[in-house]
Chains A and B, each alone.
Chain A
Amino acid sequence: MSAYEVVSSIMRYVFLGTLLYFIVLLIVRSISEWRYLRMAQRILQLSIHWILVIEPEKYRGKWFPLKEYNDIGSGSECEIPLAQTELKARHARIVLKNGEYRFSTKKRRYCEINGQPVIRRETPLADGDIIWIQDVCFICHRTRGKEGLDDA
C-alpha cells in the first residue's frame, strides 16, 4: 500500500467529518435564523396597539386602545363595547399572549379575518388585519391614526 493510499484512506473520514459538521452547522444556523425571523414577525405583530371600527355606521371611526384582555361585545362591561350591534354581550376576545395579540371567539359563524373564516381557536393578529364579526368590522392598527370621529 503506497503512502498516498494510506493518507487518502484516512482523509476520507476527514472529508466525511467535514461534510457532516457542515450539515450540522447549516441546520443549527437555519434554526437560529428561523427563530430571529419569528421574533421579527412577532415584533411586527406585537406592534398593533389600536383597533378602528369601520362598521356599523354608528361606531364608524371609533378608536379603541388594546389592553391585555379585550372583550368585544354588546355588554357595557366589555373593553370594546358596541351596544347597538348584533353582537352578544361577550362575543369575542383579543388577548395578549406570548408577545402577540390573538383573536378568539366561540361563535365562529359570520366571523372572518381578512376574508377568511376563523378556523383556529386563537388567531394571531397583525397590523392591517380586517376582522368581521356579525355586522361589526374593525381594523387592527399599529398606531392611532388621525381619522376617526371621537376617542374611545
Chain B
Amino acid sequence: MRKLRHARCASALGVVLLFILAAFSLLAFHEGSFDAGALLFGGVVLLTVLLSYCLLACFAAHADRLLMLIVCFLYALGMVMQYRISPETALHQLIMLGIGLVGMLLMLILMRKPRIFRILSIPMALLSLGILAALLFVGKESGGARNWISIGGILFQPSEFVKVALVFLLADALTDHTHVKDLLPILLFVMVAISLLVLQRDLGAAMLLAGVFLLVFFVATSNIRATLAAMLLGGAGAYASYLLFDHVRARIAIWQDPWATYSTSGYQIAQGLMAIASGGLWGLGLGLGSPKMIPAYHTDYIFAVICEEFGIVFGIGVIMLYLLLVVRGVLISLNAQDRFSMLAAFGATALLAVQTFVIIGGVIKLIPLTGITMPFVSYGGSSMIACMLLVGILEGIAAQSGTLLEDALIRAADETLSAAQEDATEMECEEDAQ
C-alpha cells in the first residue's frame, strides 16, 4: 500500500540532487576563480531537499512525495538562479525557504484536523480584510503597488497570506452551500478583497483571487450559468478599473505594444522578450546570460532569465513541471475523503496554477503583465512561505486520504479473511452433521 504514495521515488530524488550538484559545481567557477561559497551554498540546498523529503516521510508516511519532489526541483532551480544573480539574495531566499518548510510541516499537522480551519473561517476573513484595508493607510509602496508592510525592518506582503486564507474560506463556504443566495457572504468577501487589492494597485493578486474564486466556485457548484455570470461581472469590473485607473490603462497599453514605449514603461517587457529570444532553443549556458538587463530579473522576470540561460526547451520543461504539480494536486483533491478537504486541495492547486499562468503569461506577453511571483522560483519571502503553506495543505490532505485508504484496505482484507474462515467452519459443521 505504501507504494501508492511513493512508488520508487529514490531515482527522482537522485535526479534533483544531481541537478543541484551540477549547477552549483558550475557556478563555483563562474567568476573565473574558484568560489567555495557556491559549493557550500549548493550543499545547504542539497541538504534542504533531503531534509524536506525525509521530514515529509517522518511526519506523513502517506503524503505525496512526487509532489514534494516537483516542489524541491522548482525551489532548487530558484536557488540556482538566485545564487547566479546575487549570493546575498539567494541566502535570504534560503532562510525564507527554511521558514516556509517549517510552515509547511505545521500546516501538514494542522490538516489532520481540518475542522480547525472551518471554526476559524470568520476570524480569518475579518483579519484578511482588516489587513488589506490597513495597507491602504500604512502600506509601503514597492514596484508600483502599495501592498508591503514593515515588521521589525523586514518587509512582508500580506496579500500572499490572504490568498492562503481564501483557500480555506472558499472551501468552508462551498462545503455546505451551493446555491448562490447562500454564498453571498463569501461573494462579498471576495469582491471587497479584490477591490482593496485594486486600490493598492496589486493587480496580480486581484486577478489571482478572482481566478481562484471562479475555478473553485465552478468545481463546487457545477453551476455554469452562475460561473459565466461571475465571469461577466469580473470582466465588467476589469473594464471599469480600466476606465477608472491610470495604472491599469498603462499596463494594457504596454502589453499591447511594449516596443512603442521601449525607452520608458515598455522597457521591462521588451527586455524580457529579447532575453528569451537571445537564449534560443538551448540557452546561452548557466552564467553566460545578462539577466541584469531586465528590470525585476530576480522576481517577476525570473522565467525570462531561465529561458535566456537554459533555453526555451528547458522553459517549456519548467512549465510541464508546473502542469504535473497541478495534475497531482487535482488527484489529491479527487481522492480527498471529505468535501472540505477536496475543495481546499483544489483551491490550493488552483492558486498555484493561476499564479504560474499569470506570471509566465505576463512574461511571454500572452496576457498583461502583473507583478506576482513565480511559485517557488522567484525571489520573495512572503511568496515562498505562502507557497509552502499551500504545499502543506496538499500534503496534509494526501496523507489523510492515503491513511484512510490503507485502513479501508486492511479492514477489507480482514473481513474477507474472517468471512472465508466462517464459511470453512460452516462447511465443517455441515460435513459433521452428514
* CB of B15 closer than 8 Å to a CB of A: yes
List CB contacts (< 8 Å) of A1-31 with chain B. 2, 4-5, 7-9, 11-16, 18-23, 25-27, 29-30
Contact of A16 among B15, B317, B320 (CB under 8 A): B317
Q: Is the CB of A29 within 8 A of B286?
A: no
Q: Scoring B residues 1 to 36 as 1 if CB is less than 8 Å from chain A, else 0, what string do you get?
A: 101110111011001101100110010011010000
A23 to B412, CA, bound (A): 35
Q: How many residues of A contact B (CB 8 A)?
A: 37
Q: Is the CB of B412 within 8 A of A29?
A: no
* CB of A40 closer than 8 Å to a CB of B: yes
Which A residues touch B73, using CB under 8 A? 19, 22
Q: Is the CB of A32 within 8 A of B7?
A: yes
List CB contacts (< 8 Å) of B306-324 with chain A. 309-311, 313-314, 317-318, 320-321, 324
* CB of A119 closer than 8 Å to a CB of B: no
Q: Is the CB of B409 within 8 A of A43?
A: yes
A101 smallest CB distance to B (angstroms): 14
Q: Is the CB of A26 within 8 A of B12?
A: yes
Which A residues touch B7, using CB under 8 A? 29, 32-33, 36
Given A26-B66, A29-B66; A16-B321 close (CB under 8 Å) = no
Q: Is the CB of B415 within 8 A of A143?
A: yes
A116 to B22, CA, bound (A): 55
A47 to B415, CA, bound (A): 9
* CB of B419 closer than 8 Å to a CB of A: yes
Q: Is the CB of B408 within 8 A of A8?
A: no
Q: Is the CB of B311 within 8 A of A12?
A: yes
Which B residues touch A32, using CB under 8 A? 7-8
A12 to B311, CA, bound (A): 8
A47 to B411, CA, bound (A): 10
B247 smallest CB distance to A (angstroms): 37
Q: Is the CB of B412 within 8 A of A15?
A: no
List CB contacts (< 8 Å) of B399-413 with chain A. 405, 408-409, 412
- B325 (CB) vs chain A CBs: closest residue: A26
A127 to B419, CA, bound (A): 15
Q: Is the CB of A26 within 8 A of B69?
A: yes
* CB of A62 closer than 8 Å to a CB of B: no
* CB of A142 closer than 8 Å to a CB of B: yes
Q: Is the CB of A142 within 8 A of B412?
A: yes
Q: Is the CB of A8 within 8 A of B287?
A: yes
Which B residues touch A142, using CB under 8 A? 412, 415-416
Which B residues touch A5, using CB under 8 A? 285, 288
Which B residues touch A30, using CB under 8 A? 66, 324, 327-328
Which A residues touch B1, using CB under 8 A? 40
- What number of A-B contacts does a CB cutoff of 8 Å give? 121
Which A residues touch B408, using CB under 8 A? 44
A21 to B282, CA, bound (A): 16
Given A12-B286, A20-B317; A4-B409 close (CB under 8 Å) = no
Which B residues touch A12, using CB under 8 A? 282-286, 309-311, 314
* CB of B70 closer than 8 Å to a CB of A: yes
A81 to B82, CA, bound (A): 72
A44 to B405, CA, bound (A): 9
* CB of B337 closer than 8 Å to a CB of A: no
A20 to B415, CA, bound (A): 45
A135 to B253, CA, bound (A): 66
Contact of B12 among A7, A13, A15, A22 (CB under 8 A): A22
- B314 (CB) vs chain A CBs: closest residue: A16
List CB contacts (< 8 Å) of B25-72 with chain A. 26, 29-30, 32, 66, 69-70
Q: Is the CB of B5 within 8 A of A15?
A: no
A96 smallest CB distance to B (angstroms): 15
* CB of A90 closer than 8 Å to a CB of B: no
- A3 (CB) vs chain B CBs: closest residue: B29
* CB of A152 closer than 8 Å to a CB of B: no
Which A residues touch B284, using CB under 8 A? 9, 12
* CB of A83 closer than 8 Å to a CB of B: no
Q: Scoring B residues 150 to 170 as 1 if CB is less than 8 Å from chain A, else 0, what string do you get?
A: 000000000000000000000
* CB of B335 closer than 8 Å to a CB of A: yes
Q: Is the CB of B23 within 8 A of A15?
A: yes
A62 smallest CB distance to B (angstroms): 18
A residues sitting closer than 8 Å to B (CB atoms) are 2, 4-5, 7-9, 11-16, 18-23, 25-27, 29-30, 32-34, 36-37, 40, 43-44, 47, 49, 127, 142-144
Could you pull out 29 A-B pairs where Cβ atoms are within 8 angstroms?
A11-B22, A11-B286, A12-B282, A13-B282, A14-B22, A15-B22, A15-B286, A15-B314, A16-B313, A18-B18, A18-B22, A22-B12, A23-B317, A26-B12, A29-B7, A29-B9, A29-B12, A30-B324, A33-B3, A33-B5, A33-B66, A36-B3, A36-B7, A40-B4, A40-B409, A43-B409, A44-B409, A142-B412, A143-B419
Closest 10 interchain pairs by CB? A8-B285, A19-B317, A47-B412, A22-B15, A9-B285, A25-B12, A12-B283, A33-B7, A18-B19, A36-B4
* Extra contacts besides A9-B288, A30-B328, A47-B412 (20): CB < 8 Å: A8-B287, A8-B288, A11-B22, A12-B282, A12-B284, A15-B314, A16-B313, A21-B15, A22-B15, A25-B15, A26-B321, A29-B66, A36-B4, A37-B335, A37-B405, A40-B405, A44-B412, A142-B416, A143-B415, A144-B419
